[in-house]
Amino acid sequence: MKTIKGPAIFLAQFLDDDKPFNNLESICKWAKELGYEGVQIPAWDTRVIDIIKARDSKTYADEIKGIVEDAGLEITELATHLQGQLVAVHPAYDTMFDGFAPDPVKNNPEARQMWAVEQVKASASVSRHWGIDVMGSFSGAFLWHTVYPWPQRPAGLVETGFKELAKKWKPVLDHCKDESVKVCYELHPGEDLHDGLTYERFFEATGKHESVGILYDPSHFVLQQLDYLEFIDIYHEHIGMFHAKDAEFNPTGKAGVYGGYASWKDRPGRFRSLGDGDVDFNGIFSKLSQYDFDGWAVLEWECCIKSPGQGAAEGAPFISDHIIEVTEKAFDDFAGEGADEEKNRKILGIE
């Protein structure tokens, strides 16, 4: 067994135009003071990285790594969620998802998709330069508007959707294979990859591509009422990243899984700070350790009630307290006698 690394923190939700959250150096010092050992960097936020420059200039990429290490931290992974989202966009969402793209490619779906592909590829190249073999992302979606089967889905629609999704991702995945980097998709509502079955469909559609993996985030499974512990039993070989994020589900006589279009704080299913929700983190850390996951436990804060400052401050000790230092000994070793083939055969009654 292997010991999970951490605690680490995903910087995306904390970056801001005010100090100390407006540049990589100061936000890393802030994270270190809170007790974190690693930072996950959003590849889309130019306040902390220019991912194309980092791809093209190893000097610049080394400078970014140096800033993090000078603060006493490690870069855990790059995250390409916003760029990955734009690899595959249904036209109904063009206007809303244009907000994730730079001005030169807005209102131009083809150019936006090409930009997204280049961004994710660049992130893989930078990851390899840093010696990191995983990165997080979203899959994007062609089918999400059909997630509930009404009106009835025409025969073959789902298969066509995943075939096209795999086609969009294939050049990225091939590049990631060349760079020895796995794309760990966060299984997330709004994405065509949002649970185990949809992950399997995509994995099959890509020809079981070796660069396809999973970013495990139990909070999204709580909101779906999916068994997030059994999920680890089933898919542990595919899990390459872990977001420690809490959530709770409190259905009422008025709303349930779909939420009734309510705001986050008024939904039955809502994200919470670590320890404030329903997630069984003891079970999660035990299972991940049992299955030899040795990646990072990364706080992703998205609480609808608690402030980000308090959530971050409480998150580091929470993760530290849940990391299991795995044993290298069996509890009954003291009673062992060592291997003795002759004795074993005698016990079994074998002549």
pLDDT tens digits along 212-250: 999 999 999 999 999 999 999 999 999 999 999 999 999
Domains and CATH numbers, the chain: 5-348 (3.20.20.150)
C-beta of residue 115 within 8 angstroms of C-beta of residue 87:
no
Average pLDDT value for the chain: 96
Element (H, E) at 299: strand 296-299
- In this prediction the pTM is 0.95
pLDDT given for residue 200 in this prediction: 98
Contact 80, 44 (CB under 8 A): yes
Three-state DSSP state, 236? helix
287/74 Cα distance (integer angstroms): 25
CA distance 75 to 31: 12
Residue 99, helix vs strand vs coil: helix
With a CB cutoff of 8 Å and minimum separation 6, the contacts of 36 are 7, 8, 9, 73, 299, 316
**291-319 pLDDT tens trace:** 999 999 999 999 999 999 999 999 999 99
Task: Categorize the per-residue pLDDT at 331 as very low, low, confident or very high, splitting at 50, 70 and 90.
Answer: low
Q: Let me know: does 117 contact 172? Beta carbons within 8 Å.
A: yes
Nearest one of 301, 225, 333 to 34, comparing CA atoms: 301
**Phi (first) and psi of residue 153, to 5 degrees:** -75, 130
Per the DSSP assignment, residues forming a β-bridge with 184 are: 136, 213
φ, ψ dihedrals at 203, nearest 5°? -55, -45
